Amino acid sequence: MSVLLGIELHGNCIRLQAVDRKGTRLALLEEPVSVPFERWWGTHPDERVRSVRALLQHALQEGHIRPASIAAIGFSCEPSLVLVDAEMEPIPPRALDWQHLDPSDSSPEQVLRNTLARFPSILRGLHSVMDLQDWLRYRWTGAVATSSTFAWHSGLSSHSSPAQRFDPVALQQVGLESGQLPPLMPGPHRVGTLQEDLVTDTGLPRGTWVCAGTSPRAARLWLAAEPTPGQGIVLLEPGGATLWRVGEAPDAGASCEEVIPAPYGDHWYHREAIEVADPRRGETPLSDVVHDAAEIDPAQSWNPDAGSMMVSADFGAASRAPALLAGVGLGWFRDLRPLWRKRCKTVALEHWLDQVAASSGSSDMETREQT
CA distances to 12, 48, 101, 110, 280 from 35, rounded to whole Å, are: 7, 10, 14, 20, 28
Decide the pairing of beta strands 310-311 and 289-292: parallel
* CA neighbor of 126 nearest in space, from 88, 173, 74, 71: 88
Query: Could you tell me which residues come within 8 angstroms of residue 358 by beta carbon, excluding any fewer than 6 positions away?
Result: none
Taking the CA atoms of the chain, what radius of gyration do you get in angstroms? 20
Burial of 283 (0-12, 13-18, 19+ CB in 10 A): middle
User: How far apart are CB 50 and other proteins at their closest, in Å?
Assistant: 6
In the complex, the smallest distance separating the C-beta of residue 54 from other proteins, rounded to whole angstroms, is 9
Q: Which of 21, 39, 44, 64 binds other proteins (CB under 8 A)?
A: 44
Q: Which CB sits closer to other proteins, 118 or 351? A: 118
Tell me which of 22, 63, 87, 239 binds other proteins, using CB under 8 A: 87
Q: How far is the CB of 276 from other proteins (least distance, A)?
A: 38
Within 111-140, which residues bind other proteins (CB under 8 A)?
Answer: 119, 121-122, 125
At closest approach, how far in Å is the CB of 79 from other proteins? 22
Stretch that binds other proteins, among 44-52, 60-68, 202-210, 270-278 (CB under 8 A): 44-52
Stretch that binds other proteins, among 92-100, 158-166, 223-231, 315-323 (CB under 8 A): 92-100
Site size toward other proteins (CB under 8 A) is 19
Least Cα distance to 266 among 229, 231, 235, 291 occurs for 229
| Helix (H) or strand (E) run with residue 130 in it | strand 126-130
By CB under 8 A, residue 95 contacts other proteins:
yes
Site for other proteins in 49-68 (CB under 8 A): 50
H-run or E-run covering 321 = helix 321-330
Which of 20, 38, 47, 278 is in the footprint of other proteins by CB under 8 A?
47
Residues 205-264, interacting with other proteins (CB under 8 A): none
Give the residue from 135, 73, 78 showing the smallest Cα distance to 103: 78
Report yes or no: 5 and 325 within 8 Å, Cβ to Cβ: no
Query: In angstroms, what is the minimal distance from the CB of 316 to other proteins?
Result: 29
Q: Does 317 bind other proteins (CB under 8 A)?
A: no
> Closest separation between CB of residue 86 and other proteins, Å?
8
| Residue 121 or 301 having the CB closest to other proteins | 121
Q: Does 175 bind other proteins (CB under 8 A)?
A: no
Residue 260 β-bridge partners: 269
Options 21, 39, 92, 237; binder of other proteins; rule CB under 8 A: 92
Does an H or E element contain 353, and which?
Answer: helix 349-359
Residue 20's alpha-carbon distances to 5, 17, 50, 65, 366, in angstroms, are 9, 10, 26, 11, 19
- Contact stretch for other proteins (CB under 8 A) within 83-91, 206-214, 248-256, 265-273: 83-91
Residues at the interface with other proteins (CB under 8 A)? 34, 44, 46-47, 50, 85, 87, 89-92, 94-96, 119, 121-122, 125, 370
